[in-house]
Structure 1
Amino acid sequence: MGIAERLFGSARDRFGKEVAARVRAVDSVARADYDPETFQVVYQGAQGAEPAVINLETVFRETRGASSAARKTAIGRLADIAALPPTPEQWDDVRAALRPVLRPIPADPQFEIVSRPAARYLSEMLVIDTPSAMRYAADSDLRRWGVSRDEAFATAHRNMARTVTASLDEARRRTGSTQPARHTDNGDAYLTSLPLVDGWLATIGRITGARPLAFSVSNSTLLLAYETPDTGAVTEAFAIAEREWRQAARPISPAPITVDDDGNVVLYTVPEDHPAHAAVKHAQILLAMDAYGPQTEHLRGIAGPGDPFPAALKGFRSPEGAEVTAASWADEETSLLPDADLVLFPKKDGDLLMVPWAAVADEVGLTPAEGYHPARYRVGSWPDPDVMERLAKLAAEA
């Protein structure tokens, strides 16, 4: 521990205390306290309203290493949350203000914000749109309104109708350009949420005659490209999306969402022999690592004696440039494996058995553990020797 940390606390605590101080300065706030265990600021309005919370993790991560001015601006935006009017008590007073938003997966599976899986490594959340800002809806809000999660999300999707119409008109004006069309949100249109809306991607595909690739690279930018025989154009679209995702203050995904032949909204994939496979695989690995990394850190932080060990997702690149992900299955302990391309079995003699995930799943029947998104698979000691022998043969044949 450095001198600054001993004197003033950790960077997380200093950030939390600064946010709490800014929230206390809001006229409508009677009290605000920093809770280091949950990394939240808990505040209460002057009129005796129910306590509310401001989650700090996302903004803390975004501003780590940023300039002092950028950090103060971000803290000011957090403090502005406390100045918003109270969440409406009645469903009829709030239903028209609900919107869906596409976001990275919360690291904490018990996260109180209303959230559900949206594609493999992303989440859909529910927000209340106001003239000055948006506020995430909590599970306690749904209970107070007396509505189910499905009903609330369906209402939010219907509220996107105006934005959907405008985007379809734009698709009809599509030219032969191979460059992704850029849709920039000023904070009111929720353009990056369009891939979530039932039928939007399928309709875009019918209008244009090509499978759409919707890159929600950040909370303010949607890049819309299309599947094409021009592999160079597809690869370039992925490169543009990754560059913007890396530079975004609030990144969402470098990998595009599309619609399959059955009309389901899914992450875009191509066969291994597809010319653009390397670019597509690279984007999905970036997204997977971005989802599993915070989840692993969180689960390890809360794990107690006897809890399963949360294994990390690791990325590897071969000398030829091929990229894969892997997870280690340690013998004689219970682990939570992330979904990966390979399962690594580290032996006591230092040797390492690498087996394709599909082969392991077929042999031992891997099934997702409940309560984890992205998925985790609970495993114990290694399979019996005869199964390990078959896995070794499958690894040699792969």
Structure 2
Amino acid sequence: MEQVRGYEAVEFAQFDAEGFEIAYRLRNGYAAKLNLDTLYRRFEGKISAEVFDAVDNLLLPPEAPAGWDEVSPKLRPVLRRAGYGSVQVAGRNGRDLVLTRPALPYLSELVVIDMPSTVQFVTRQDLSRWGVDAEQVYAAAHANLTELAMNTMTAFDPPEGVRVLDFADDDGENYVGSLPLVAGWLAGVRARTGTIPLLFLPSHLGMLVVLGATPAAMPQLLALAAERYEAALRPLSAVPYTVDDNGDLMPLSVPEDHPAYGEIQHAQAQLAVGAYRAQTEKLRAEEDREGAIMELLHVRAPDGAEYTMTSWTDGATNLLPAADFICFVTGEGDVFRVAWDDVSALVPLELAAEYDPPRFRVHDHPPVEVMTRLRALAR
């Protein structure tokens, strides 16, 4: 914080102990967050001159191009955890929101300005300054990856057996991990190889593409993705993704008797709980929150099955995360859990659209007759 506040260019800076990051705004309007966990992991926890040099480079990037014609060729799409990107800086214009939209469950698409030594996230204020809308920004960012998308096609041929292609981006400069966002790219892979590709995004850099994946090979592939996820400087997701009939990216869904069903459930729960944990901490720190911010829990049953669960307490407004089960906690000490789909069939769960990842606004418990029916559905 002393180093950050020591720069004349820094207008405001605020340390977030829970997020272990410094949110700051420069006098030129640029706002961002300095993630200390990532910084210290990068240098293996050693405090050295290299750390302070890195802060210099991260904190004071060169001026981004000001006009749309100059900036549009430098735009690139990127994937981040849902909820990533809001910057809270006290004392000025409140919140400067990074441009973001849902891409996959618990993953969002953002856009960066690619500059020689750093990247700068596009914000809502940038749209006003450039005189464009969000769709124009996303379209330009995707178009800038067209050449890369075409060049990667030479790596794909019909596989003989299971084939794993590791598309690395160690320095974060080629954006190959963003190609799944480009319309038609995965569909092109499927057409060229004659197989339905499998995709892993364990880190925010690079990706793994698997051709010819068989059910028997899936547990080993999930183990590889989990290993990459745990070792990543900025982990993203260990969930396997594939392409639907329309060529769109989607999470892989398998039946309960699939050899990798348990591993996939674990990866999906891990992703959801991580996204909601960060959101819960942020919302609970806000003084003007509207109700109880309920947690998402990752539960492992004695038989090894994994699922997510949240709680609905009576007599208050609850903001529930999406979960596999809802646990009802009554004033009489009665506690029982019901599958989310069973609850939503009997009770209207109001989507609170302002939250990402999504939350559902509920108030008092349902009437006695509905609670009786819910108890009968308890598992």
Which of 313, 316, 320 is the equivalent residue of 2:299?
316
Task: Report the Cα offset of residue 384 of structure 1.
Answer: 0.5
Task: Report the Cα offset of residue 18 of structure 1.
Answer: 3.4
Residue 162 of structure 1: aligned partner: 147
Residue 62 of structure 1: aligned partner: 38
Task: Decide whether the 8 Å contact of 1:35 with 1:42 is kept in 2.
Answer: no
Partners of 1:76 and 1:283 in 2: CA distance: 36
Partners of 1:84 and 1:39 in 2: CA distance: 16
Cα deviations by residue, 1:134-160 (Å, 9 ceiling, x for unpaired): 221111111111111111001100100
Residue 225 of structure 1: aligned partner: 210
Task: Report the Cα offset of residue 108 of structure 1.
Answer: 6.8
Task: Decide whether the 8 Å contact of 1:98 with 1:128 is kept in 2.
Answer: yes
User: The residue matched to 2:328 in structure 1 has which SS?
Assistant: strand
Which of 346, 350, 353 is the equivalent residue of 1:370?
353
Coordinate RMSD, CA, aligned: 2.4
- Paired letter, 1:367: E
Which of 28, 53, 66 is the equivalent residue of 2:31?
53
Unaligned 5+ segments in structure 2 are 87-94
Aligned in 2, Cα 1:108/1:250: closer, same or farther, shift over 3 Å? closer
Residue 183 of structure 1: aligned partner: 167
1:34 is the counterpart of 2:13: yes
Partners of 2:30 and 2:251 in 1: CA distance: 35
Partners of 2:205 and 2:184 in 1: CA distance: 22
Residue 3 of structure 1: aligned partner: none
Partners of 2:241 and 2:111 in 1: CA distance: 19
Partners of 2:37 and 2:316 in 1: CA distance: 32
Task: Report the Cα offset of residue 85 of structure 1.
Answer: 2.6
Task: Report the Cα offset of residue 327 of structure 1.
Answer: 0.6
Residue 347 of structure 1: aligned partner: 330
1:97 is the counterpart of 2:82: no
- Paired letter, 2:68: W
Residue 216 of structure 1: aligned partner: 201
- Paired letter, 1:193: S
Partners of 1:112 and 1:318 in 2: CA distance: 39
Aligned in 2, Cα 1:227/1:104: closer, same or farther, shift over 3 Å? farther
Residue 260 of structure 2: aligned partner: 276
TM-score (norm 2): 0.89
Residue 9 of structure 1: aligned partner: none
Task: Decide whether the 8 Å contact of 2:241 with 2:252 is kept in 1.
Answer: yes
Task: Report the Cα offset of residue 349 of structure 1.
Answer: 4.2
Aligned in 2, Cα 1:170/1:107: closer, same or farther, shift over 3 Å? closer
Aligned in 2, Cα 1:332/1:205: closer, same or farther, shift over 3 Å? same
User: The residue matched to 1:355 in structure 2 has which SS?
Assistant: strand
User: The residue matched to 1:220 in structure 2 has which SS?
Assistant: coil
Which structure: greater helix fraction?
1
Task: Decide whether the 8 Å contact of 1:20 with 1:41 is kept in 2.
Answer: no
Residue 131 of structure 1: aligned partner: 116
Aligned in 2, Cα 1:118/1:366: closer, same or farther, shift over 3 Å? same
Task: Decide whether the 8 Å contact of 1:63 with 1:71 is kept in 2.
Answer: no
Residue 391 of structure 1: aligned partner: 374
User: The residue matched to 1:289 in structure 2 has which SS?
Assistant: helix
- Paired letter, 1:347: T
1:261 is the counterpart of 2:245: yes
Aligned in 2, Cα 1:363/1:32: closer, same or farther, shift over 3 Å? same
Cα deviations by residue, 1:325-352 (Å, 9 ceiling, x for unpaired): 0010011110100000000012344432
Residue 279 of structure 2: aligned partner: 295
TM-score (norm 1): 0.85
Partners of 1:167 and 1:70 in 2: CA distance: 40
